[in-house]
Structure formats: C-alpha cells, structure tokens
Chain A
Amino acid sequence: EVQLVESGGDLVQPGGSLRLSCAASGFFVSNTYVSWVRQAPGKGLEWVSLLSSGGRPYYADSVKGRFTISRDSSKNTVYLQMNSLRDEDTAVYYCARGQGASDYWGQGTLVTVSS
C-alpha cells in the first residue's frame, strides 16, 4: 500500500530553520517524482518544490534560495530543508507523489512561523 507520512512541523521564529520529512512506503522515492505543496490557513494550495526521479530539484520563486529538497534512498524519505523562514511560510505542508498528477498525498505537517 502506498503511503506518505510527513513529520517535522513545528513553531519556529522568523529567520529560523526547520527540516520536514516525508517517509514513503509502497514505492521508491528514488524512481518517482515527489513534491511539497503547502496550504496557508484558510487559503488555497501552493506548490513549493519538486524532486524529479533523476534527482533534479525545482522550486517556486517564493522559496528559491531558502528551501532545499533532497532525498535519502536508503530511508525512502524526501526532505525539505527550510531556512530563513518568514511569517508567510506558515502553512500545512503536504508531500505528494507524481510527476503530472499527484495520486498519493500525505496527511500534512503544520509549520508555524511566529515570534
């Protein structure tokens, strides 16, 4: 059964850092596209980052230079390292599988940036 489980969300001060994890089961992250999508409170979905099956990362302009996506194939886990966090990064962060369409999503992890 395919499953994605996010973790690592927390309350962090502006300027701080956080690393989110997306643990996958039922498929291999090393040969699949995995994305991070976020949703600010009461708002719509916003794509954040994507890691291709070949290992190439892509980022939304809003996070470029601050966030880094990576994976550990031995742990079958995708990470999102978030630095220089801002108030507007407050959101539920979802990881999702798929290149064109995301057929499996995790339950989300809440990141709150506040002093």
Chain B
Amino acid sequence: DIQMTQSPSSLSASVGDRVTITCQASQDISVYLNWYQQRPGKAPKLLLYEASTLEIGVPSRFSGSGSGTDFAFTIESLQPEDSATYYCQHYDTPGFIFGPGTKVEIK
C-alpha cells in the first residue's frame, strides 16, 4: 500500500514569507497528487491537482511541483487567511490516501 508523508508537521511564519511544505509518496505516483487547505471547523478545499495545476479561483500565490515520489507545495507571500492545515492526497484504487497534514500558523 502507498503511504504519504508530509513535512514539517507544523510551521509558524510571518505575513509575506515564502512557505514550502513537502510530501513524499512511498512509491512512484507520477503526478497524481492533490493539495487541500482546511481551515478550522471547515471542510477541506481543493487548491491544486495533478501536482501543479491550480484549481479555478485559487490565488496564484499557491503553487505545487514534483513528480514520482517527491512533491512540494509553496505559498508565496503568506497571508493571514492562509492559516490552516494543508494535506496532500493521492488517489489510488480503491480510494484516497491523505498525508498527515501540515499546520501553518501566522506569527
């Protein structure tokens, strides 16, 4: 079974900072990797799919890269509303595999 890991598990950064989260798959998943944002008490929101494609309506300060087993998610110029937990996710028959999440806090 494929396992997903994320690092760091949490981070604290200032408004305007560049933030990067990494996600690693236990085996090659090509570009089948999605990123979600979940604010406290809210449902997850799709930000990027297929590693680097921005979902419609998502600000361009969010970006993703990678293929195979190693992926990165970047927030350029962190904003107060970006305080949330971010999850990577792979789809593999028979279902979804989520990473453990990275909590992003604003200093």
Using CB atoms and an 8 Å cutoff, list the residues of chain A in contact with chain B.
35, 37, 44-47, 49-50, 58-60, 94, 96, 98-103, 105-108
Inter-chain contact B94/A58, CB cutoff 8 Å: yes
Cβ-based interface call for B44 (8 A): yes
Question: For residue A57, which residue of chain B has the nearest CB?
Answer: B94
How far, in whole Å, are A44 and B103 apart by their CA atoms in the complex? 11
B73 CB, min distance to chain A CBs, angstroms: 14
- With a cutoff of 8 Å between Cβ atoms, the chain B residues found around residue A107 in the complex are 43
Inter-chain contact A58/B91, CB cutoff 8 Å: no
Which 6 A-B pairs rank lowest in CB-CB distance, beginning with the nearest?
A: A58-B94, A47-B96, A105-B43, A101-B49, A101-B34, A100-B91
A38 CB, min distance to chain B CBs, angstroms: 11
How far, in whole Å, are A47 and B55 apart by their CA atoms in the complex? 21
Inter-chain contact A35/B96, CB cutoff 8 Å: yes
Question: For residue A94, which residue of chain B has the nearest CB?
Answer: B43
Q: How many residues of B contact A (CB 8 A)?
A: 24
How far, in whole Å, are A45 and B46 apart by their CA atoms in the complex? 13
Question: B interface, by DSSP: helix, strand, loop or mixed?
Answer: strand
How far, in whole Å, are A73 and B50 apart by their CA atoms in the complex? 30
How far, in whole Å, are A109 and B58 apart by their CA atoms in the complex? 26
**Other 8 A-B pairs with CB < 8 A, given A58-B95, A101-B89:** A44-B99, A47-B98, A100-B49, A100-B50, A101-B50, A103-B46, A103-B55, A105-B45
Q: Which of B35-69 contact A (CB under 8 A)?
A: 36, 38, 43-46, 49-50, 55
Question: For residue B99, which residue of chain A has the nearest CB?
Answer: A44
Question: For residue B97, which residue of chain A has the nearest CB?
Answer: A47
